[in-house]
Structure 1
Amino acid sequence: MDTLARACVSARLDLGFPVLTLDDELWEELIRQVLPASEVDELFPELAEHASELTRLQALPRAERALELAARLGSWEGVVQGEEAEVLPRGLGRDAREAVTPLLHRTGEAWRAAKILADLGDPEAVEALSAALPWLKTSDQRWTAMALSRLGRLDLVVNVPDDVRAAAVAAPYLGFRDHAVVTLPLDYRQLEQALPELERLLHEELRPGAAYCTITPDEVPIALAALGSEHVVVRRHAVCVLGEKRLGQEEIHPALMRAAEEDTSPDVRRLARLSLEYLG
């Protein structure tokens, strides 16, 4: 890195232009930190254009803004596009729900609408998601089923392929949960109830290395209790989500020590040791 930094400085001094090394996610922040505003505007005019467009969108009435963002979902044209157009509606509540819901009827776009509706955490979306589920296919159906589950209505995910139902069962325990404006409390009961029927598929959906959800300090007792579950999938998930320093260690550390030494599953023991290493 020192050599790279020296090369960047040398390029600026000897060649008269800046050379930057950037992070894929934080590149705009890094540019604004290391360059004066005049050079940012000169060398990266797209950043000023992007800021101007965000200001314009912010000035629109909420319903109109939601409709504009919904129209940009999945598009890679324009200043605000793709993933950013998925994130921005989260603060628009009912207006976002009303703008996005019609997309449930568009093949290839329904999955994005379902994800946003789940992120909004609005139970008013359940009826539209449930109505769309039977006729949707592939990823559209999968994400719609997951959305229903994230909204607490796994009971409506019926007459779908087993892999779709397994994805729905697993959804509240994965990182998608962290995107939500409103999050349902951690509850392992629906996972435990589904395991006898969908065990192989759920082992895969919730395999080690999957992006598990993060939990709050209030949910620590639920995860600690899950260490006593008869199901490896549940215990495996619990030892991983407990391995966060921000949750504290008074109760967690001894529980993970027991899991690392005594659990009957080699996977759970290994993952418990990894969580302990992270906790220090």
Structure 2
Amino acid sequence: MSTISSALMRRLLNLYPLDIAHSQLMRLTYPFALPEGEVKLHVKAVSGPMCFDPNTFLGRHLYFMGTYEPICLSRLRRTMKPGMVFYDIGANVGLYSILAGKLVGEGGAVHAFEPQKKLVAQLKRNIASNGLSNVNIWEAATSSEVKRDKLVQLSSTNTGQACLTHGDAEGLEQEEVSCVTLDSMVAEGKIPPCDVIKVDIEGAEHEALKGAEGILQERPPKAIFFECIDEHLGRFNSSAEELIGFLSSLGYTLEYARRGKWKAFEKERYLADGSPPDFIATMG
């Protein structure tokens, strides 16, 4: 189908007001051709312009729906207050960073961590296009130790599906990146402790949070939005059970998103629900 048809479908789907059934609606878009290369469009989730590649997984959602993970973004809007500090771990092209930057205002700050050079370039343009001076971009991965490592691109159509070296990476696109720990960044005075964290880094979520254990114990963030996929966590010798147990041991209450609602985490119910990936851990 033509890109003219895809533009019409985009206008129609951008009118959809609910946080549910987005995956089902996205299936309607599969036959539609998309513009090649980068586009710059108004994205309703951030009420502002963003540049992105519509032929990536995230880009397709932004193009047609004007949002991604809407239930998480809605919860973020209710959580963030003016003056807060937000860490965006795995910032990609800046969806969460832009929204958080607008929510915290001039008195707050966002620290966006993204190791992929191509995405960092788009992230910088998106922050500038939205006139945000309170978003700080760090071209680095977060881990449990400070080091240099290889970032492996696992998918040619999902730029968000890149992770630090694991197993056999032969034949896959790679780039060398710097890895930092959040604890070391705070200890060195580069960033302040935060109020809210979002971490979505293809299985390295537990590694990043272990690198923030000092922060989590001494000045625990109010909320942590995180992806929890057992198969992905296994790349780094962790598991959903270990990550959930780690946060629970620090005093966090966990909820997961399913069909547009947040459910209190109970292992049996979570497994029965098909182990949904999107979580929030809250303190107090």
Q: TM-score, normalised by structure 2?
A: 0.33
Higher relative contact order (CA 8 A, sep 6+): 2
When Rg is computed on C-alpha atoms for both structures, the one with the higher figure is 1
Higher helix share: 1
Q: Between Structure 1 and Structure 2, which shows a larger proportion of strand residues?
A: 2
